[in-house]
Amino acid sequence: MNKGLLGKLGMDSKMAMGFIGILLFMMGDGLEQGWLSSYLIDNGLTIQQSALLFSVYGFAVAIAAWFSGVLAEVLGPRKTMTIGVVLFVIGTVIFLTVGLKTMNLAVMIPTYSLRGLGYPLFAYSFLVWLTYYAPAEKLGTAVGWFWVSFAAGLNVLGAYYSSFVLPYLGEMKTLWSALIFVALGAILAILLNKDDGSNRKTFETKAEMIKYLSKGITIAFERPKVGLGGIVRTINTAGAYGLVVFLPAYMIEIGFTRTEWLQIYGALWTSNVIFNIIWGVVGDKLGWRNTVMWFGGVGCAITIMTLYYIPKFMGPNYLATIIVAICFGACVAAFVPLSALIPSLAPENRGAAMSILNLGAGLSTFVGPAIVGLFIGSVGTVGILWIYSGLYLLSAFIMRFVTLPKKEENINNLSDVQAV
């Protein structure tokens, strides 16, 4: 890795185009995230139907995320990322031309899900590429930069872009504009990224290749701590992704406008972006596990509840709500060191280990909305948030058991193995 400024930051010139490409692609993928559910409900769907759409979409994301790691090693990162782009474009075009125009769930669910297959193959394959490329002592920082790019595009720039252009372009043209960002991101990350990906695995026979594909499943049982890490990763963003299904309606009911909500949502993820790199550095210095356990699990359990109680008791107080959103976004970012910890538990099968972690990331987009669909009718907004809070506390408890061998602790300066 280069020793210049970018190298010191954990991101050198060879991979820089890839990070920018991830940011642009995810901006295109996520520009509708903060408002599509409310738009669908306003145009005839129930909140349960909207939750179903996002849940099935999340399941498709989970499947693609699960196999992205091993596919990146079998086919190579560039080929896997290209497949992701193609699936995303096809799904988007059919969803917009047929699905949204008819508001027919039978069309919307499969086409939006096809779109959902695309971004994990693109983004998480690049993450596997990165875990092979970055040196061990900078791995936490490097994956922190990945999540900065990922979250900045998906949740920050996409949300702010929508808040500015929706009044002028309208919903459909805004959705079509996503393809511009996806195309630019693909060019930068696939064509202009300089590393050749030569660190990936090579296979002598097809049988050996197929056997390794199964590692994306069996690694969780062969290395139970990897499986536990996948559970924690699922909880990590389940609450954050579930919020977009029901919280916009709650905020608007309290008295916020849609633009204000999108800016609050953007502030949440702006904080997340900033703290992605901060927690990556902190994790490298103070310990990956403790960072996830205390700042991630316990921190999220507390701060997610403020998103309900602060507006509840203070009304549509824009500044106060933005502050608590920033706090929650910072705590969500504290799970970043998982992307360094989990592949380090299986150094000879990093791609397979990352597949489990990526599965967790994908499942979070399924579990979060699914919880809303199952329980919103019985427990309401505050009940859903308490469920999420309980899950975050569970993730903190699980992290007690996700430890590295003493040898790896010494190499990575992990002081957290015997802590707690």
pLDDT in tens, 219-275: 888 899 999 999 999 999 999 989 988 999 899 999 999 889 989 998 998 998 889
Highest mean pLDDT among 62-66, 68-72, 364-368: 364-368
- The residues near 162 (Cβ < 8 Å, ≥ 6 apart) are 31, 32, 34, 35, 174, 262
Q: With cut-offs at 50, 70 and 90, classify the pLDDT of residue 4.
A: low
pLDDT at 56: 92
264, 269, 273, 278: CA torsion to nearest 10: 80
Query: Per-residue pLDDT for 65 more than 50?
Result: yes
Q: What pLDDT, on the 0 to 100 scale, is given for residue 215?
A: 74
Least-confidence region, from 44-53, 166-175, 199-208: 199-208
Work out the percent of the chain whose per-residue pLDDT is above 70. 86
The torsion angle over the Cα atoms of residues 171, 174, 176 and 179, rounded to 10 degrees, is -150
% of the chain at pLDDT higher than 90? 49
CA dihedral 144, 147, 149, 150 (to 10 degrees): 170
Nearest Cα neighbor of 103 from 40, 57, 161 is 40
pLDDT at 200 over 70: no
According to CATH, the topology of domain 14-412 is Growth Hormone; Chain: A; (1.20.1250)
How far is residue 29's CA from residue 117's CA, in Å, rounded to a whole number?
11
pLDDT number for residue 206:
63
> What single-letter amino acid sits at 300?
C
Which of 129-138, 203-212, 350-359 tops mean pLDDT? 350-359
- With a cut of 80, say whether residue 114 has pLDDT above it: yes
pLDDT surpassing 70 at residue 382: yes
Specify the pLDDT at position 212. 67
Higher pLDDT, 420 or 337: 337
pTM (2 decimals)? 0.77
Q: Is the pLDDT of residue 284 over 60?
A: yes
Q: Residue 358: is its pLDDT beyond 90? A: no
The pLDDT assigned to 343 comes to 86
**300 neighbors 328 (Cβ within 8 angstroms):** yes
Question: What does pLDDT average to over the chain?
Answer: 86
Instruction: Examine the pLDDT at 193 and tell me if it is beyond 60.
Output: yes
